[in-house]
């Protein structure tokens, strides 16, 4: 126990190692990382529903929903603040929305688990429906992905070849495997126009009204091995993330973008997302099989072969392995970075976070948390504007300091370190152009603007 405080309502608050607890004279409540926000930086999936709520399958905290500014966490360690549907597994794996507005989400484990939230009203906990091998299919286990068609079927991809389907029309469950429709172990799924497209090694299986058809890449003469992601744009073009880069199929012609004919982040495209607001195609790609490793995100308007690309080594993206992407209703793209949580990006500036309260209560009233401009009082830049040499210091200038310098479009311009708390940046060279730059302390996140005028 580190500190305690009694608020104006007589509630005692106690801070300890890894948690904050409150006691109102009757009930104790604990607030930890497992019930107050994103539990872990490792995540499996992000899905954004029609109401702009973010559903995050967390690697060690279950399933989360973020309806700005509030979080709910459905995992075994949430201190009872919210439901914990699956006590056997801490790993949430996927979420989707059915045409009737139901939200489905899944947990990994030998006792696989799926939850249906009728109408997406997640706070109506008593209405939730739960499915495992006792009431769905006797072999239902280890679900890795859930996706819905717009004709009323929900598909579950598992660790094995087994693929399960729930049919709203008659409340039945079906199993598909190598004997009755699936031709290889599924790696991704996407519903479109009443069909379910299931990508795998060298092909795609397509389900429609009880009938399976197949897209076989070797038979078509296409050099596509593994399919990692499938998406459709507004005019029906199919976009594939594959080992061999990004592919587009317009119903007649197959087109490929890779490192040899474009500037995409990497050939291994793991995630594809379509932005209908800005008419952009986003991809997450990384090369982690052969050193040197690299990766990030790329986007373009679907025409030509020039992408805007941000690599982990030269931009604020926090990890090279971009494994999932999702677009919200405001055009922000949510970037799932392996082991580093999420990054949020919008080419027209990030929108929609005014819902977060940037104040906190103290004994003397309401005080604002430092805004970007007030960070400059703590991370000092002199001279500013500058044309030659810039000195960057903290208030505690005798401590080591490490900083990054970014251009306003997010490109990392340089990294600097000093043991005595004073970093010196030479901006006189042609490397630094006239304009605005962002300086960020890598240790505590404090930042400041730098204007360069030559």
Question: What CATH number has the domain bearing residue 383?
Answer: 2.60.40.3080
Q: Within 13 A of 97's CA, how many CA atoms are on the CB side? A: 17
> Do residues 283 and 299 touch, judged by C-beta distance below 8 A?
yes
Domain membership flag for residue 398: yes
Domain membership flag for residue 420: yes
Angle at 445 between CA 297 and CA 311, to 5 degrees: 15
What is the rounded distance in angstroms from the CA atom of residue 416 to the CA atom of residue 441? Answer: 10
- 420: domain range? 374-452
Give the CA dihedral 403, 283, 432, 378, nearest 10 degrees: -30
Domain membership flag for residue 71: no
Q: What pLDDT tens digit does each residue of the chain (454 aa) get?
A: 889 999 888 999 999 888 999 999 999 999 999 999 999 999 999 999 999 999 999 988 999 999 988 999 999 999 999 999 988 789 999 999 999 999 999 999 877 799 999 999 999 999 999 999 999 999 999 999 999 999 999 999 998 899 999 999 999 999 999 999 999 999 999 999 999 999 999 999 999 999 999 999 999 999 999 999 999 999 999 999 999 999 999 999 999 999 999 999 999 999 999 999 889 999 999 999 888 999 999 999 999 999 999 999 888 899 999 999 999 998 999 999 999 999 999 988 888 877 776 554 444 443 333 333 333 346 788 898 899 899 988 865 667 888 888 887 677 888 888 888 888 898 988 888 888 888 888 777 777 888 898 8
pLDDT reported for residue 110: 77
Domain membership flag for residue 442: yes
- Using a 10 angstrom Cβ sphere, with 0-12 exposed, 13-18 middle and 19 or more buried, the burial of residue 70 is exposed
pLDDT reported for residue 374: 31
Domain membership flag for residue 12: no
What is the rounded distance in angstroms from the CA atom of residue 162 to the CA atom of residue 184? Answer: 10
3 state SS of 14: strand
What is the rounded distance in angstroms from the CA atom of residue 44 to the CA atom of residue 144? Answer: 9
Domain membership flag for residue 252: no
Domain membership flag for residue 286: no
Domain membership flag for residue 107: no
**How many separate domains does the chain show?**
1
State pTM to two decimals: 0.79
> Do residues 76 and 86 touch, judged by C-beta distance below 8 A?
yes
């Amino acid at each position: 126990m580190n500190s305690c405080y009694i608020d104006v309502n007589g509630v005692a608050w106690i801070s300890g190692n890894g948690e904050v607890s409150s006691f109102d004279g009757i009930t104790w409540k604990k607030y930890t990382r497992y019930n107050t926000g994103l539990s872990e930086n490792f995540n499996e999936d992000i899905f954004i529903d029609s109401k702009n709520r973010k559903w995050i399958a967390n690697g060690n905290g279950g399933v989360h929903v973020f309806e700005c500014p509030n979080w709910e966490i459905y995992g075994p360690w949430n201190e009872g603040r919210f439901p914990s549907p699956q006590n056997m597994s801490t790993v949430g794996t996927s979420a989707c929305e059915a045409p009737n507005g139901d939200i489905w989400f899944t947990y990994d484990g030998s006792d696989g688990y799926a939850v249906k939230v009728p109408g997406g009203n997640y706070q109506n906990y008593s209405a939730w429906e739960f499915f495992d091998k006792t009431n769905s299919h006797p072999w239902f286990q280890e679900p890795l992905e859930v996706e819905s068609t717009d004709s009323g079927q929900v598909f579950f991809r598992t660790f094995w070849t087994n693929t399960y389907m729930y049919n709203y029309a008659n409340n039945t469950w079906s199993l598909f495997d190598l004997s009755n429709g699936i031709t290889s172990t599924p790696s991704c799924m996407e519903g479109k126009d009443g069909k379910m497209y299931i990508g795998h090694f060298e092909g795609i299986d397509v389900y429609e009204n009880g009938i399976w058809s197949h897209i076989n890449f070797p038979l078509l003469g296409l050099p596509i091995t593994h399919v990692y992601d499938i998406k459709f744009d507004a005019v029906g073009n199919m976009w594939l993330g594959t080992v061999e880069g990004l592919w587009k199929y317009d119903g007649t012609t197959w087109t490929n973008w890779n490192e040899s004919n474009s500037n995409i982040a990497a050939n291994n495209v793991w995630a594809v997302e379509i932005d209908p607001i800005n008419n952009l195609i986003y991809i997450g790609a990384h090369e982690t099989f052969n050193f040197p490793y690299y990766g990030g995100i790329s986007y373009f308007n679907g025409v030509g072969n020039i992408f805007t690309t941000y690599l982990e080594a030269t931009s604020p993206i926090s990890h090279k392995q971009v494994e999932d992407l999702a677009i919200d209703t405001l055009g922000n793209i949510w970037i799932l970075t392996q082991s580093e949580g999420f990054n949020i990006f919008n080419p027209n500036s990030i929108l929609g976070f005014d819902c977060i309260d940037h104040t906190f209560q103290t004994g003397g009233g309401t005080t604002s948390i430092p805004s970007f401009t007030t960070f400059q009082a703590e991370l000092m830049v002199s001279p500013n504007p500058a044309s030659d040499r810039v000195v960057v210091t903290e208030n505690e200038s005798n401590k080591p300091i490490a900083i990054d310098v970014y251009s306003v479009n997010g490109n990392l311009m340089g990294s600097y370190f000093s043991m005595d708390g004073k970093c010196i940046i030479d901006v006189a060279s042609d490397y630094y152009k006239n304009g605005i730059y962002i300086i960020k302390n890598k240790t505590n996140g404090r930042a400041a603007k730098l204007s360069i005028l030559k």
